[in-house]
Every structure is written in structure tokens, then in C-alpha cells.
Amino acid sequence: MSVQATSVVPVQAPEAGSRNGSLARQRNAVAGYAFLAPFLLFYGVFLLYPFALGLWMSLHDWEIVGDYREYIGFLNYVELWDDPYFWDALKRTLQFAAMTAPAATLLGLVLALALQKPLRIYAALRAVFFASNIFSVTVVTLVWAMVLNPDRGLIANGLRAVGLQPIAFLADKDWAMPALMVTSLWWTAGLPMALFLAGLQQIPPEVYEAARLDKASRWAVLRHITLPALARTTLLVVVLQTVMHLQVFGQPLLMTRGGPANSTRPLVQLIYETSFRDWRSGYASAVSTVLFVLMFGVALLQFRLSRQEGE
Amino acid sequence: MADVLLRDVRKQYGSQAVIHGVSLELRHREFIVFVGPSGCGKSTLLRMIAGLEEVSGGEISIGGRRVNDTPAGDRGIAMVFQNYALYPHMTAAGNMAFGLRNIGTPRAEIEERVASAAKTLQIEHLLNRRPSQMSGGQRQRIAIGRAIVRRPDVFLFDEPLSNLDAALRVQMRVELVQLHQRLEATSIYVTHDQVEAMTMADRIVVFRDGRIEQVGTPLEVYRSPANTFVAGFMGAPKMNLLQARVVAVSPGVVEVALPGGRAVLPAEGRTLAADAPVTFGVRPEHVRPTSGEGVFRGHARAIERLGRETLLHVVGADGATLIATDTGDSTVRLGDTVSLAIEPGQGRLFGADGMALPPAAASAA
Amino acid sequence: MNRTLTDRLILALVVAAAFVWMMPMLWVLTLSLKPNEELVRSTNGIIPWPRTLEHFATLLRVSLTPRWLLNSVVVAVGMTAATLLLSSLAGYAFARIDFPGRRAVFLLVMAGLMVPEQAILVPLHAMFADWELHNTYFSLIAPRLAGPMGVFLMTQFFKAVPRELEEAAELDNAGRFKIFWSVMLPLSRPALTTLGIFTFLFAWNDFLWPVVTATQPEMYTLSVGLGSLQGNFAMSEGLGFLMASAVFASAPMLLLYVVFQRYIVQGIAITGGK
């Protein structure tokens, strides 16, 4: 029996073979954009448009409430150049990222190397170190503000127990920044660890077996096999961590409010306060643009480096 | 009735042509094997017949109906893929029923068709399993079952046995042919394995570089390869090909000079000038060691003992190699000097263009 | 023997480090279980004795925390469901439909990965203010659906599905949407799980945008609400309550983490934590 007896198409001229092609192409175009439409709608409205709007706003004196908006060209950027708060915040942000990112990378690498075995105990330990990563920034800051509290904090208790004076970490100009870094490390170190573990898994076991036959010492294996194999992962981790820590916001906002004496206020907090406390959205957008350029630069650097390595 | 007709079928990717105008007529219930080295276009052509690749030019018709613009599902074909392509999240029964459900077949009929296909393929005990719970051979049966329940006019097989181990492959070869004989359908089977082609086909189509090199029954292709490519591709071990020169041509007979002697062959060589270069092809089973004065002398460089017989690779003074067949208990040892004789009348001549000379019988008729 | 000795030494070190690592959480858990009278005296020790659930009772009875929990659940579930749908639809199109302009559109979408949320924070706020849509579930969810990471993930996943599977379905008379829905989606369960958990986690912990758009306490998520408590409560009087809030807010995530640890770690490894 013939299934398609009902759907016989009239025979076309033989050279019409390509009609199928253009028809299929049309159908693909419709289907493709139909599948994409829902996402593209959100992407356009909530990412592309606000991104462009942000650039536009940065060229205006634009107040968050009311309708006051005046085109002022690059005046916001000029003002930025002369704004000590901006330079301060930029410096803090760079400082924070430049110290936290390498530290997190190193910590992640050490943890991954120590915990890479497939045994249960190692799996449990990996879970512990990763667990702090799943808390929200508000939980983390709450916990650490308490831990670092000079009167009743965990560390203060410990210091007192051995007869030392407790330190007001978050209220001390010299201690506040390191305290925020430790908090951030505790919060995020599981991430580089996971990335390094994934990188370690991709090293073929035969290489290690060959090294064992070659009587390579543990140190030699680490130095000549493991670390070189992790080069790409390391680059990725450093970039991701840098980009991530350039965006630091919740920790200073909730733990130090940027203080003491603005010594921990990063760029994002500056954006937040300029826009939502001082109502100067145009100026805040200019700061946002600077942050974007900064992060874009880091990512671009990574792209260049990984390309070079690929060649 | 489902003849498959290809008329000047072409395929192009951009400016690159991969099928250069193939014309072919497949008869109803025929088992056709497309064979050729990888990249020769055989799979592409199969996928064009299936409707998975667009046809750049020419015409494909199935059962007298032009199908160039017909969607794959409506062509009355079913296909078995190399890696089975079973839906991993469905049971075997679900895999077989999916297509029937999509065209709104009544539930009772689906069940009946699945059951009967399962019985034919002896896979009733697998129906509730998922592909991940089956062996490769079992998966292949489900894939075939999925094709059968559609009751297609044409079965398309794309290297379906290449992922199976050797023993299973031999068994499935036989089963597939038996299945084909039971079903009212035409089968097109793509493979790069010339043993599959020889053992399964009613007719073989040999492809190279997007062109048909030869169409014929397995024996025709084996005994009378149309050119040096087919001669070298079909048969294991392949046909010996030696450079030779024409010595004399008389009606229906050509005499050629080989490195170590002469051979007289029945062929129509009127177009050949004396001393013209030709290629002389002869199957290893027609070349044997001889104690007398052979047509080829050399030393044995490799010896393959197959038990029933022994293959000798003999290298002549000029570097040419000839593979010969000896008895299973051959006493030839590596390095021995061997004289080879060719069975009288066996062998085939190819002109300078690689094409076979017409056989004598044909020109005499 | 040398190897195993070193191994044991390393293990001992890491176990000690893990204990220190867990200390803050254990201590906070302890504090949340201690009665107020005890807390006034001392915050020492990580064994909760005497213990009490009074802080958790207060939390549920008098605070807005239950409402915030509801908000967090609505936002996280809504964002996850919508992300899965949008990402798989778009990912399928990019991976498997050969439509004109595919490359260009894909690049345009992936360029979005370079735009940090801070860069669009201020204009987004202005947009929602214009529409008068701040303090709604829509404002909490919608901007987060524009992120291209899910699309990228699903595109990669669908690209790896053998093409023959789709061709088999095509021969089985399945149309585009049928292939997507009945073949590709069920196949992508592992990827969808990873993406789903990941989105859920992100939504639950989201802070910067929610703190900007949710200004009425009734529309806070747990994360934002907890942040507001930190400012409002003096550490001394509400200590147990505050710690109970922290435990309460993280408990669902910890549970999720215990159950789906594999997917979470895997998701982080794939997406690089974004």
C-alpha cells in the first residue's frame, strides 16, 4: 500500500530543482526568527536598549526624578576627570580587584590540587569549600560582619581568649579593605576551585602514568605536567575573577557603607549612590561607561592572550 | 510499484559540485548497493533520495512521482542510519511508534504494526527498553524496526553495519537480505565495504568522486571491472594491475608483453597500436607459482597464510608487485625466488585511459 | 610510602582548613539557636546549648520574612521557567536552523555577555520608572531574562546532539516544533537541569537590581530584606533574630546545593560563574 497516494504533486519542469531550495530557505527563515523572537524581544528591550540609553544618558544632565534632562555633551566625563571621589573609587576598585583576583586564583588552585582525588572524603571537602559560594551577598556580609565584630565577634572572642585586644576591623582604615577581601575570598573561592578541578580532569591520565614510568617526582609532575596543562584555565580564572571583583558592591555597601572615610567605596557603589541617592543619573551613567570600558579591556586582553597562545 | 529513477541528479555546495549528474534506474524490489571510497558522494546521493539534502539539479522520482520538492516524511521511504539515531528518551516501542503517531495512525493499528515488526525482528522482549539499555546489535534491530513499521516503498540504509563487531556484521548481512526478500520494497544500501556490496546486492553501483564508475551484478563488477579504479576497489585482495605493452593484435585477441613473459587475452583491441602501453589486470586466484618458465619472476616479500590458501606477494626486478595464490601448505619462504604463471585466458586489459577494452565476445556478436 | 605519607599530611591540612572554613556558618547557626539572655552574656562556643527556636518563631510571626520568602520563590521560579523556555527556543534556532543572518544575530547576542549589569542599571531604573513598573514581580524578573548565557549554553548543547536524530524525526513526519518539543527538549534534560538550578541560584541571591527596583518592603526578596535588616537592627538587641534570618534565607539554597551539588558545580565550571 502506498502511504502518499493522496499527496501526489503535479510534476514540474525538471529544471525546477532549485525551487525546493528557496522554499526551504524561506521556511528556515520564518522558523529561525520565530524560535528566536521571544528571547530577542527581552534582549532588545532589557539589554541593547538600556545599554544605548546609558550611553545617551551619560551625555546629559539627567535627573532620576522629574523630567529635567539637558544635553551637555561630554561635560559629565570632564567633570569625572576632576572628581576626586571618582578617582578614589576607581583606585579602590582596581586595588580590590588586583589583590582579590590573584589571591582567589591561587587559593582555588591550591584547593583544587589538594582535593582532586576521586575519593569520598575529598568530594566532601570540595563540597565544603564550594558551599560558601551559594550564599547571597547579604547572608555572607551578615555572617562576616558578625564574625569581624569587635565586641562579640568570633575573631574578637578568639583574640580575647589568648589575651589580645580585639580589633575593630571594619571601622579601621587599614583593616577595612583586607577584611572585605577575606570576606570575598571566603565567598567566591569555590568558583576558581571548580574551574581548576574541571581543568585538571581534562589532563589525560596516561600522561601521569608515563611520568610515573619516567620516575618523575611529585614536584616534577606538578611543575612540568600539571601546571603547564592548567595554563589556559589559569588565564580564564584570572580574567573571570578580575571582571567579577571589579564589580564589587554588596560587601562594602553592607559591611562598611564605603567607609571608614570612603576608604572602601568602589565604583559600583559610586554609581549606586550618585544615581539613587544624589539623583544624578547622567553622571552615574558616565561612571558606568568607564566601568564597562574597564571590564571590556580586561576581557579583550584575555582574548588577545588566548589567541597568541593558540598560535 | 516503486521504481526509483534518478535523472541527471546533481548536488552542489556553493560552487563545489559533489554529485556530477547521476542517472540511474532502480527496479521495484531490487536490492541496490552504493559502494565507493569515503567522500565519493554515495551517502550524499542517498540523503538526496531521502529528502534530507536538497537537490541542486536533475530529477528524482519514486514510484513514478517526482519527489524533488516532497518533504522527507512524505516520500514513502524509511531510513536506517549508521549510528542508529534512536530517540534516547523513548522506549523501543516508542521509537517505532513515533512516526506513525505523527501521521495520525490509529492507536490499534500502531500497536499491531509494532508488534508484527517486533516479531519479524525477534525483538519483542526489547520493546519496553530504552536505547541505552541495549547492545549495538539490538539497537540496530530497533532502528530497522522503526523503518519497517512505516511500510515504506523504499528502504534506505546508510552504512548500517559499520558500528557492529565483525561476527555480528556477518550475521546481520544475511538477515537483512532475508528481510528484504520478505518485504515488498526496494532497498538502497550504502557501504564502503566491498564485501557487503558483493554479498548483499542484486546490483552494485560503484561511485568515485561524485560519478558512477560502474553498475552491474556483483559478478559482473568483479569479473569485468569497467576500469582500473573498479578493478582496484572491488575484491580482497584486489586485482593485480601490471604495466604491459601490446605485442600483437588480431580480431578478438590481444597479445601483450609482461615483465617476464607474454600473455594472450581475448579482447577487442582494434584501436590499439602495436607497442601501445596498456594495463594488464588479473585476479590473484588466477596467478599461481610454477616450476616452469612463468610470465613473472621475483622474490617473495610477504607471505599471508590464510589456511585454505596462501597469498604470495612477489616483487619483480623492476619493483612491480604481483599477488599470487598458492596452496594452503605452500613451502615458499620469505625471500625465495618464485616464478608465476597466469591461467590461460584470464586477465583483463585496460587502455591508457584506464578504461577496459571491450571483451572479444561482445565485438564478435 | 613516601607518597601516602605526604598525601595524609595534605589531607590533614585540608581537613583543618575546611573546619576553619565552616566555622563562620556553624557559629552563626549556633547564635540563631541561643536564647537572648544567653546571647547577652556571651557569643562564645559553637555548640548551641541551651538552644531555642524562639528567633525562628519571631521571624515567622512578626516580621516580613515570610512575605520575602514568597517573593523570592515567585521571582526565582518565574525567572527559571522563563529562562529555560527562552534559552532553549533561541539555542535551538542558533544551533540547528539555517536561517539568513544567523551568524550576525548570534554575534550580536553574544556581545551582550560583555555588558555588565552595572552598565545598564541606571537606564533600566529610568525605564521602569517611566513605565511605573518598579516594585512588581515583572520588574524583578524581566531584565534578568535578557542575559545571553543561557542561550549560549543551550546553543552549545544542541550543537552536540547528533544531526541524524533530527533527520530521523524528519523522516518520521515531525515538523520543526514537534522535533524541538518531542525530541530535542527531552534530550536536553541534563543541560536544562544545570541551567535551571543555576538560574534559580542566581535569582535567589540576586542583589544589585532587586535593591534598586524593590523599594517597598513588601516587594523585597529575601536577599534584599536581609540587607535592610542589617542596617535597621543594632547588633546587640536583635542578634539572635538577625542570625536566624541569615540561616532562614540560606537554608533553601543549602538544601538545593546538597541535592543538586553535581549540577551546580558543573554549571559553574561551564559558565565560568556568570
Neighboring chain B residues of C170 at a CB cutoff of 8 Å: 51-52, 71-73
Q: What is the DSSP letter of B227?
A: B
Say if residue C48 is in the same domain as residue C178: no
Lookup: cell for B25: 534506474
Q: Is residue A7 part of a domain?
A: no
Q: What angle do CA A48, A50, A52 make, to 5 degrees?
A: 70
Domain membership of residue C23 as a residue range: 1-52
Worst-scoring range by mean pLDDT, A285-294, B247-256, C180-189?
B247-256
The values of phi and psi at residue B333, to 5°, are -120, 160
Say if residue C129 is in the same domain as residue C26: no
Q: How many domains does chain A have?
A: 2
Q: Bigger pLDDT: C198 or B92?
A: B92
Q: Is residue A33 part of a domain?
A: yes
Say if residue C88 is in the same domain as residue C45: no
Q: Is B94 exposed, middle or buried (0-12, 13-18, 19+ CB in 10 A)?
A: middle
User: What are the beta bridge partners of residue B324?
Assistant: B312
Q: What is the CATH number of the domain that holds A210?
A: 1.10.3720.10
User: What are the beta bridge partners of residue A95?
Assistant: none
Integer-rounded Cα radius of gyration of chain B: 25
Cis bond upstream, residue A260 (ω within 30): yes
Say if residue A105 is in the same domain as residue A121: yes
DSSP string, B69-125: TS-GGGSSEEEE-TT----TTS-HHHHHHHHHHHTT--HHHHHHHHHHHHHHHT-GG
Say if residue C94 is in the same domain as residue C182: yes
Q: Is residue A262 part of a domain?
A: yes
Question: CB-CB: which of A2, A8, A20 is closest to B55?
Answer: A20
Say if residue A57 is in the same domain as residue A139: no
The values of phi and psi at residue A9, to 5°, are -95, 145
CA B60 to chain centre: 22
Chains touching A by CB (3 or more pairs below 8 Å): B, C
- Tell me, what's the pLDDT at B217? 95
The CA distance from A161 to the nearest CA of chain C, in Å, is: 10
The values of phi and psi at residue B109, to 5°, are -70, -40
- Tell me, what's the pLDDT at B318? 82
Say if residue A153 is in the same domain as residue A225: yes
Q: Is residue A228 part of a domain?
A: yes
Nearest Cα residue to C202 out of C67, C111, C75, C82: C75
Q: How far is CA C242 from CA B46, B85, C69, C201, in A?
A: 70, 56, 15, 22
Of the residues A11, A40, A71, the one at which a domain ends? A71
Say if residue A110 is in the same domain as residue A214: yes
Say if residue A154 is in the same domain as residue A219: yes
Say if residue C211 is in the same domain as residue C261: yes
Alpha-carbon distance of A116 to A194, in angstroms, equals 10
Total residue length of chain B:
365
Question: CB-CB: which of C164, C173, C186 is closest to B103?
Answer: C173
- Tell me, what's the pLDDT at B239? 92
- Span A45-51, average pLDDT: 95
The CA distance from C43 to the nearest CA of chain A, in Å, is: 6
- Tell me, what's the pLDDT at A2? 35
Which residues have C-beta within 8 Å of that of residue A31, sequence separation ≥ 6?
C93, C97, C99, C176
Say if residue C195 is in the same domain as residue C217: yes
Domain membership of residue A44 as a residue range: 19-71
Q: Is residue A12 part of a domain?
A: no
Say if residue A66 is in the same domain as residue A80: no
Nearest Cα residue to B234 out of B191, B188, B263: B191
Say if residue C118 is in the same domain as residue C10: no
Say whether pLDDT at A255 is over 60.
Answer: yes
Beta strands B203-208 and B31-35, pairing class: parallel
What single-letter amino acid sits at B338? V
Alpha-carbon distance of A55 to B120, in angstroms, equals 70
Residue C241 in contact with residue C59, Cβ under 8 Å?
yes
Question: A–C: how many Cβ contacts below 8 A?
Answer: 267
Say if residue A28 is in the same domain as residue A161: no
Say if residue C48 is in the same domain as residue C66: no
Alpha-carbon distance of B138 to C25, in angstroms, equals 53
DSSP string, A262-302: TTT--HHHHHHHHHHTS-BHHHHHHHHHHHHHHHHHHHHHH
Q: Helix (H, G, I), strand (E, B), or coil: what is residue A167?
A: coil
Longest dimension (CA), chain A: 99
- Span C215-222, average pLDDT: 92
Say if residue A156 is in the same domain as residue A186: yes
- Tell me, what's the pLDDT at A277? 85
- Tell me, what's the pLDDT at A15? 39
Say if residue A60 is in the same domain as residue A203: no
Say if residue C179 is in the same domain as residue C241: yes
Chains touching B by CB (3 or more pairs below 8 Å): A, C
Q: What is the DSSP letter of B238?
A: P
Average pLDDT of each block of 10 consecutive residues along chain B (365 residues)? Answer: 86 90 93 93 94 91 91 92 92 94 94 94 93 92 94 94 89 92 92 92 95 95 93 88 88 83 82 86 92 86 93 89 91 91 88 83 43
Say whether pLDDT at C2 is over 80.
Answer: no
Nearest CA in chain B to C185: B89
Residue C231 in contact with residue C214, Cβ under 8 Å?
no
Total residue length of chain C:
274
Say if residue C45 is in the same domain as residue C142: no
Alpha-carbon distance of A121 to A113, in angstroms, equals 14
pTM, whole model, 2 decimals?
A: 0.84
Question: CB-CB: which of B7, B69, B76 is closest to A2?
Answer: B76
What single-letter amino acid sits at C53? L
DSSP H helix total and E strand total for chain A: 16, 2
The CA distance from C177 to the nearest CA of chain A, in Å, is: 9
- Tell me, what's the pLDDT at B320? 86
- Span A107-128, average pLDDT: 90
Structural domains in chain B, CATH included, are 4-232 (3.40.50.300), 237-364 (2.40.50.140)
Helix (H) or strand (E) holding A57: helix A49-57
Cα end-to-end distance, chain C, whole Å = 43
Q: Is residue A8 part of a domain?
A: no
Residue C192 in contact with residue C266, Cβ under 8 Å?
no
- Tell me, what's the pLDDT at C7? 85
Q: How many domains does chain C have?
A: 2
The values of phi and psi at residue A66, to 5°, are 75, -175
Task: Say yes or no for a CB contact (<8 Å) between C43 and A157.
Answer: yes
Nearest Cα residue to B73 out of B147, B127, B159, B160: B147
Nearest Cα residue to B286 out of B244, B235, B228, B243: B235
Q: Helix (H, G, I), strand (E, B), or coil: what is residue C47?
A: coil
- Span A172-199, average pLDDT: 90
Neighboring chain C residues of B50 at a CB cutoff of 8 Å: 167, 171
The CA distance from C174 to the nearest CA of chain B, in Å, is: 6
Residue B149 in contact with residue B113, Cβ under 8 Å?
yes
Say if residue C217 is in the same domain as residue C90: yes
The CA distance from C274 to the nearest CA of chain B, in Å, is: 30
Of the residues A71, A103, A133, the one at which a domain ends? A71
Say if residue A38 is in the same domain as residue A111: no
Q: What is the DSSP letter of B267?
A: B
Question: CB-CB: which of B72, B103, B146 is closest to C170?
Answer: B72
Q: Does B98 touch chain C (CB under 8 A)?
A: yes
Of the residues C13, C33, C52, the one at which a domain ends? C52
Residue A264 in contact with residue A175, Cβ under 8 Å?
no
Total residue length of chain A:
311
Which residues have C-beta within 8 Å of that of residue B216, sequence separation ≥ 6?
B203, B204, B224
Q: What is the CATH number of the domain that holds C249?
A: 1.10.3720.10
Lookup: cell for C23: 566555622
What would the pLDDT profile of C77-130 be if each residue is shown by its tens digit?
999 999 999 999 999 999 999 999 999 999 999 988 888 888 898 899 989 998
Say if residue C16 is in the same domain as residue C151: no
